[in-house]
Amino acid sequence: MLFNSLSFAVFLPVVFVLYWFCTRGIVRVQNILLLAASYFFYACWDYRFLFLLIFSTFLDYFTGLKMAGASTRNGRKFWFWLSVLINVGFLAVFKYYNFFANSFAGFLSSFGLKLDVWTIKVILPVGISFYTFHGLSYVIDIYRERIKPEKSFVDYAVFVSFFPLLVAGPIERATHLLPQIKRKRVFDYEQAANGLMQILWGLFKKMVLADNCAVMVNNIFGHSDRYNGSTLIAGAVLFAVQIYCDFSGYSDIALGTARLFGMDLLRNFNFPYFSRDIAEFWRRWHISLSSWFRDYLYIPLGGSRGTTFIKIRNVLIIFLVSGFWHGANWTFIIWGLLNALFILPSILFKTNRNNMDIVAAGKTFPTLKELLAMCVTFALTVFAWIFFRAESLTAAFHYIRRIFSKSTLRPMNGAAFLGAGVSIYQLIVLIALFFLAEWSGREHTFALAPLRVRIPRVMRWGIYLLIIGVIYYFYSDREQQFIYFQF
């Protein structure tokens, strides 16, 4: 079930009505309803993998209780590593086994040795990387004695499988979400209204911008040998817009939906394309994943402390693991390596925390220096996205070679931008208006948030209706799943 589907448009109001009007405000009943709705939501994708989600949930719940009850440190270690190995083992089998098997066979073939490898013919369970990381953070926090284990299986299961965040995050922490699940929740009109606004903005980003960009991007990346360098540059920029609008659009819908049920999820995006350096970009992009790797991998490795070698090692590890988390393909690993190389100078020269504030805070326009810094950061990010989007390293290098050829001096090929629900000129206008809205709302949690503060009610509703009209008029008639569902 997709957020941008008709089925979800029916599912959400039904659950909302049952949640607020049929549970009598009893927390346990509300949580049982949320758990049932979440399992139904997941089963609509593929009910056969529901057992994997339930097993993973029970494993970490049981492990937490066993660690807390262990009488010795070795006992705690046993249960801790059992949970970690099983969780990582599921990821290794479903997500990475075929990659390692094929890579090993390819390595042997370079020496003239042929090996027929057995591969798994099964699709990747949707959301496995996200709910696995939920469970891992919970188990790690108990092992480090930061939290105590949750005694209610229902409450813990809702933490892992709450349907707004189940398949593509944000990656929650038990310290943040579990207390909200356990406390009494009272309907708050302002919270719900903000949630609906955020859902609307997320749908606009996904259905108007991301899905229409996707048609052009798929055409350009799928047939890069047909187009000149200037068209390929446009394709890379459009993919940067697509992946941001697709993933941040999902996050907006997830956060907005959670607010309808009286809960606040972790913020996942903070206007990353207005960053002035790569370090700032990674503080603003996929925040829940970046902070997860920071807290559970980077800092335990030593972070930015120690010798220059240790600093370089830690940065390389964190970004290579991040790249590999996104997918079992060498393109993601190179994408991670590129970002590590981009950020290393700021780590080594201790400038990575220079831009902690909001760009041009309290101002209408940025300074020329800030504008140039944002453009350079965006260009580096777009270049790295080429590897993220390409089907293989060969395709990525071919794409880049054509960008740095004489063909870049020729005008863009109009045929590359056909097939979407909008023309390229309409899309450019929509993207420009989108970034203008994002810029004006950059000091808030999402772009439309200032409307409830600055704009009179009549004008505000006019803007809502306009956005709904734009979605209806320009949405792609082909229902497209979110990019991060594959991770």
Q: pLDDT tens digit string along 370-387?
A: 999 999 999 999 999 999
**What pTM value is reported for the model?**
0.93
Distance CA 149, CA 446 (A): 34
- pLDDT tens-digit series, residues 144-185: 999 999 999 999 999 999 999 998 879 999 999 999 999 999
Q: Which residues participate in catalysis according to the annotation?
A: 326
Q: Which residue has the tokens 């046993």?
A: 78
Q: Using the CB atoms, write b or e for 84-116: b if 16+ within 10 Å.
A: bebbeebbeebbebbbeeeeeeeeeeeeeeeee
Q: What is the mean pLDDT of the chain?
A: 90
Task: Return the pLDDT at 168.
Answer: 84
| Residue type (1 letter), 450 | P
More confident residue, 428 or 484: 428
Peptide bond into 170 cis (omega under 30): yes
Name the nearest CA neighbour of 171 among 301, 290, 36.
Answer: 290
How many residues are given for the chain? Answer: 487
Segment 404-424 mean pLDDT? 88
Distance CA 279, CA 339 (A): 9
Task: Return the pLDDT at 345.
Answer: 93
Task: Return the pLDDT at 90.
Answer: 86
Q: Which residue has the tokens 């540059």?
A: 233
* Cβ contacts of 165 within 8 Å, gap of 6 or more: 130, 171, 172, 254, 258, 265
pLDDT above 90: residue 103? no
Distance CA 156, CA 100 (A): 33
Query: What is the SS3 string spanning 46-89?
Result: HHHHHHHHHHHHHHHHHHHHHHHHCCCHHHHHHHHHHHHHHHHH
Confidence of residue 119 (pLDDT cuts 50, 70, 90): low
* Cβ contacts of 242 within 8 Å, gap of 6 or more: 209, 210, 213, 214, 217, 483
- pLDDT tens-digit series, residues 349-368: 989 989 999 999 989 999 99
Task: Return the pLDDT at 415.
Answer: 86
CB-CB contact of 193 with 452 (8 Å): yes
Q: Output Rg (C-alpha) for the chain, integer angstroms.
A: 23
Task: Return the pLDDT at 476.
Answer: 67
Segment 412-426 mean pLDDT? 88
- pLDDT tens-digit series, residues 301-345: 988 888 889 989 999 999 999 998 888 789 999 999 999 999 999
Task: Return the pLDDT at 389.
Answer: 95
Distance CA 471, CA 465 (A): 10
Segment 80-109 mean pLDDT? 76
275: number of Cβ within 10 Å: 22
Task: Return the pLDDT at 9.
Answer: 92
480: number of Cβ within 10 Å: 17
Distance CA 332, CA 389 (A): 9
Share of the chain above pLDDT 90, in %: 72
Task: Return the pLDDT at 101.
Answer: 61
pLDDT above 60: residue 115? no
Task: Return the pLDDT at 132.
Answer: 92
